[in-house]
Amino acid sequence: MSLENAPDDVKLAVDLIMLLESHDIAPEVVLSALEMVKRDFVKKLTSTADNRAE
């Protein structure tokens, strides 16, 4: 299956998986780091939504 027509989030997920696997990072380290990234982006999303509401 080609990623050419895939949604952007799928393309990003595949890129991240390839990057992390190519660096042989332990799964528990990856999951911990992804949780940190998720929290950061949730804050950014919330902040953006709050700014739009003002």
pTM: 0.75
Three-state secondary-structure class, residue 1:
coil
What is the b/e burial string over 8-34, where b = at least 16 CB atoms within 10 angstroms of the residue's CB? Answer: eeeeeeeeeeeebeeeeeeeeeeeeee
Q: What is the dihedral of CA 36, 42, 45, 50, to 10 degrees?
A: -120
The pLDDT-based confidence of 28 (bands split at 50, 70, 90) is very high
User: What's the whole-number average pLDDT of the chain?
Assistant: 92
At 1 the pLDDT is: 66
Instruction: Show the DSSP H helices in the chain as ranges.
Output: 8-22, 27-53
The tokens 């989030």 sit on which residue? 9
29 vs 54: which has the higher pLDDT: 29
